[in-house]
Amino acid sequence: DTGVSQDPRHKITKRGQNVTFRCDPISEHNRLYWYRQTLGQGPEFLTYFQNEAQLEKSRLLSDRFSAERPKGSFSTLEIQRTEQGDSAMYLCASSVTIFYEQFFGPGTRLTVL
C-alpha cells in the first residue's frame, strides 16, 4: 500500500516562471486537498476536489494558481508567473470521506528566486 505521493519534492525557479506540481492520492480516496505551508506556520487550505470536481477554493488561490484533477485520480497544481511570496511547501492530502482523517504526502518545497 502506497501513501500519497508528490512530485517533485523540491523545485527552484526564477520569478516569473511557471511551475506545475503533481499529487497522486491513495488509490481508493476520492477526496483530494491542496494546502500551502510557509515557514513557521501551520498548513493553509488552498482547494479541494471530490473526484474530478473542484468544490472549494480558498481566497489564497489567486488567479495565478490553477488546480485540476482530470480523471478523479492524480491532481496538478500550477502556479503561473511565480513570485517570491509563492515560496512555500505545497502539501497534498487525500481522504476516503469527510469523516475520516486526511493523509498527507511529503510535500513539494518551492523556492522562487
User: Which of 25, 107 has the CB closer to other proteins?
Assistant: 107
Q: Which stretch binds other proteins (CB under 8 A): 17-25, 71-79, 80-88, 89-97?
A: 89-97
| Residue 30 near other proteins by CB under 8 A | no
CA 81 to chain centre: 17
Q: Could you write out the DSSP letters of every residue in 13-25?
A: E-TT--EEEEEE-
| Residue 67 near other proteins by CB under 8 A | no
Q: Which stretch binds other proteins (CB under 8 A): 22-30, 62-70, 78-86, 97-105?
A: 97-105
- Residue 17 gets which letter from DSSP? -
Residue that the C-alpha cell 491532481 belongs to: 75
C-alpha cell at 43: 498548513
C-alpha cell at 109: 518545497
Question: By CB under 8 A, what part of segment 44-63 binds other proteins?
Answer: 44-45, 48, 55-56, 58
